[in-house]
Chain A
Amino acid sequence: MDQFDSFIGFARLILLALVPYVLASQGTMLSGRTGVFNVAQEGIMLLGASVGFLVALYTKSLLIGIVAAAVAGGIIGLALAYFSSTLKMDQFVIGLALFFIGLGASSLAFKLVVGVTLQLPRVPTLSNLRIPLLGDIPILGEILFNQNALVYFSVLISIALYYYLYQTSWGLELRAVGENPKSADSLGVNVVLMQYATTIIGSALIGVAGAYLPMVYTGVFTQGITQGRGWLAIALTFFGGWRPQLILLGAFFFAIVEVLSLRAQIVGSAIPYQFLRTLPYITTIFVMIYAFRWTRVPAFLGLNYDREKRSLS
């Protein structure tokens, strides 16, 4: 159990565990910032895991698998955008339906392609990418700069989203859509286009978060491989106040709890791991109670905008 007990091993595990939370939560945040509240994360991640795994298996390319997972996520995102932004249907109902669709489709695809076998097919796991020079720094280099590509990607995308949202005029328009779509519309911002774009891209990120699991952790696809990480991503988004920078920070907390509960499961500990697993939810609730200003949500989150209606529904 070196991994858990050496400092380097433990820190590396946290960074590994960080990725799906960051990606899924940034994806949630992105569409939420235009008012589309995606609640299908768990389904999208499962679908991404299944599709990513299968495509990687047959093309023998993890990269193509990841792209395929993104496309699968994007398609669910497109559906969500169509039903909420165009047809103005209830986002939660649609989100839950899409969750079940993702759930079903992921295991169906796997059964159709692989069938029932005793020997589960495997894909190679993502290899580490050592960054030249930085990777040679003692200790830190090993922890931070000798990781798989998606670790770097998830940090970079968080930084990019922060920059985009707060430092560009596109970001200003995007945020305006989630705060007051009518105001944005009356100034010529294309509300529907914004919602489609963020929902599709956001769901694609969530799909990649799903594909990460078989490609990094297990090498195989199993049902329920996400283990509730999709739901946790929603909690993390609130925890991080719908802000990319805080979501990245909050993800560390979620990742630490995950690694600790994994350790408790394998090594055994005084605290039952079931309790540890509920910790992120409980903390999120406390954060929302005590730091409400901090966790300020977009004003029109979950509501649909209809230009000719006087109330927003």
Chain B
Amino acid sequence: MTPSESTLLEMRGVRKTFGPVIALDNVTLNVKRGEIHGLLGGNGAGKTTLMNVLFGLYKADAGEIAVDGRVAQVRSPREAIGLGIGMVHQQFLQVNSFSAAENIVLGTPLRNRPTLDLTTPKQKIRALSEKFGLSLDPDATLESQPMGVRQRVEILKALYRDAKLLILDEPTTMLTPQQVDSLFNSLRAMVKSGLSVIFITHKLREVLTLCERITVLRNGKSVITLAREEATEDTFIKAMVGEEMNIGRSLLFAKSSYETEIAQVGSKELLKVDGLSVEAASQENQVISDWSFTLREGEILGVAGVAGNGQHELAESLMGIRPCKGKVVFDGAEMTTLVTRDLLARGIAYVPENRWDDGLLPKATVAQNLILGSHRRPPYSNGLMLNLGAILKRSQELIDEFKIKTESPQSLAANLSGGNVQRMMLARAFSQNPKLMIVHNPTQGLDIPSTEFVYNKLLERKRAGMGTLLISENLDELFLMCNRVAAIYRGRIVGVLERGQFDAYRVGRMMSGLE
């Protein structure tokens, strides 16, 4: 094959602006037939925007797209689909009240249009899901399905339309390690059958195990495209962040030099939970039965578990969002009956797992989102009126400190990129300077420097003697930062490991109910 024959997709000189923001500037991307092509880049680098242009959701200001060597106009998703492009979005685009099969066939020319008889489409769906190991029940309504299944629906949507090129925008953020493995197997099977895949992620390890070639974006420009063999982790980090990160002094890459500091804990109890139980509000929610644990000053206590085993309920009941039984003592005072507003005032902050639904007011400005929760207190409010000057000043400081990529504090929060929404939520929680912070998957969707930044912030809190409850599905993260890790399974604490005893396999067994 000549080089041009092996090329499936070429994007040349793509430019996209949103008002004054230049999201993409002269970007080039070249994807070969039958390869998994990694797309790397920091938060707000323009990865999602580039893919939205390719999929016809955004209209580019300039640039050219060629598929199979022919220049193509992509003015709408319909045309993109016609060219054999399928996309799995960072936020799934699904009709929750429809069944999996209905979501998949939606918009396709069904032969028997007037009858909505889905027998034949379902056969095709079953065949595809078997072929690529994407098991699901076509008749189940999506609302009740876990993230892993919902993602398979998104992938099957593309495969059902005979996509030649599948775009996956941060597909692994919401998945458990097992689900990631099965996704990778499916992707490999797809590539074997001739598909190409564009794979966006922040996890270098994933890129290096899965992708043949990798393109790096930085600040809306394509920096470099490399084959996997040519490159190491360092090359990519350099390409992504420039020289702004000092790898030698990094918490992430030079773990051992921080060991003694992280291992330290205060002696005073900050939080004591005794017999905490949460009843299921609906079937999907796991009941928490009889949890007891303590968290000391300066401690980072980890909670490890596969999503849906009670961690969401734990966080919400401690934050007063969900009714619970049992006794919770915080900082010497009982707080079981307090409402969220009082809990915030006493110095507890929360970073929820689902940033889109639980963490963000999309139609409010970045500034408003940043002070949410402290907005009743001075200097932001005198009890009656908001002090807009103080709010703007403080939010600008936070935007600078947490490097939130936004045009101004007054921009709509919904326009932030995925990782920047996460930074905004973290900035809000950290800025409240809480004695206890409950963080749930705090680094999901964050690029490497931001992850490093968050870990440093957590360390700072530890030095100041404040406590953190770190709920995470990322064992590396838990083992790096925590003094103790509690493994949970089906709403029960299976066991608690001390730092020094951490063992991924052991925790893995506990999390799957084998121990």
Contacts and interface: CB of A to CB of B under 8 A. Distances in A.
Given A186-B57, A188-B76, A308-B59, A176 B414 contact: no
A173 B107 contact: yes
B113 A170 contact: yes
A180 B157 contact: no
A167 B107 contact: no
Nearest to A298: B97
Nearest to A177: B95
B114 A310 contact: no
B43 to A, nearest CB: 15
Interface residues of B, number: 34
Contacts of A185: 57, 76-77
B59 A183 contact: no
Nearest to B93: A183
A142 interface: no
A265 interface: no
Interface in B89-146: 89, 93-98, 102-103, 105-108, 110, 113-116
A183 B363 contact: no
B502 interface: no
B106 A173 contact: yes
Contact of B116 (A169, A176, A180, A307): A169
Contact of B107 (A171, A188, A296, A311): A188
A309 B52 CA distance: 12
Contacts of A166: 116
B350 interface: no
A290 to B, nearest CB: 18
Contacts of A179: 95-98
A175 B98 CA distance: 9
Contacts of B97: 179, 296, 299
A309 B106 contact: no
B106 A172 contact: yes
A313 interface: yes
B392 interface: no
B412 interface: yes
A187 B414 contact: no
Which range contains the number of A residues in contact with the other chain? 20 to 34
A189 interface: yes
Interface in B48-64: 55, 57-59
A307 B97 CA distance: 22
A277 interface: no
A174 to B, nearest CB: 11
Most chain B beta-carbon contacts within 10 A, residue among A169, A170, A175, A190: A169
Contacts of A172: 98, 102, 105-106, 116
A190 B96 CA distance: 20
A168 B115 contact: yes
A189 B81 CA distance: 11
A160 to B, nearest CB: 12
B107 A309 contact: no
B87 A186 contact: yes
Contacts of B58: 307-308
Contacts of B55: 186
A186 B89 contact: yes
Most chain B beta-carbon contacts within 10 A, residue among A167, A185, A186: A186
A84 B113 CA distance: 29
A79 interface: no
Contacts of A310: 362, 414-415
Contacts of B108: 187
Nearest to A187: B107
Contact of A188 (B81, B113, B115): B81
Contacts of A187: 77, 81, 106-108, 157
Contacts of B87: 186
Contacts of B414: 309-311
Given A186-B55, A188-B77, A310-B362, A171 B94 contact: no
Contacts of B98: 172, 175-176, 179
Interface in A98-126: none
B506 interface: no
A176 B57 contact: no
Interface string A294-313: 00100100000001111101
Nearest to B57: A307
Contact of A186 (B77, B115, B116): B77
A311 B116 contact: no
Most chain A beta-carbon contacts within 10 A, residue among B81, B116, B362: B116
Given A179-B95, A308-B58, A184 B113 contact: no
Contacts of B107: 173, 176, 184, 187-189
B165 to A, nearest CB: 15
Nearest to B416: A310
B95 A183 contact: yes
A100 B363 CA distance: 30
Contacts of B77: 185-188
A263 interface: no
A130 interface: no
B78 interface: yes
Contact of A311 (B95, B103, B106, B362): B362
A309 B362 CA distance: 11
B106 A176 contact: yes
A173 B116 CA distance: 11
A188 B94 CA distance: 13
A24 B57 CA distance: 35
Most chain B beta-carbon contacts within 10 A, residue among A179, A184, A311, A313: A311
A169 B110 contact: yes
Given A167-B116, A168-B114, A182-B93, 20 more contacts: A167-B115, A168-B113, A168-B116, A169-B105, A171-B116, A172-B102, A172-B105, A172-B116, A176-B107, A179-B95, A183-B106, A184-B106, A186-B87, A187-B106, A187-B108, A189-B107, A296-B97, A308-B57, A310-B415, A311-B362
11 contacts: A166-B116, A168-B116, A169-B105, A175-B95, A179-B95, A183-B93, A186-B87, A188-B107, A307-B58, A311-B362, A313-B363
Nearest 8 pairs of A and B residues by beta carbon: A311-B414, A188-B78, A187-B107, A183-B93, A311-B362, A179-B95, A310-B414, A188-B107
Interface of A: 166-173, 175-176, 179-180, 182-190, 296, 299, 307-311, 313
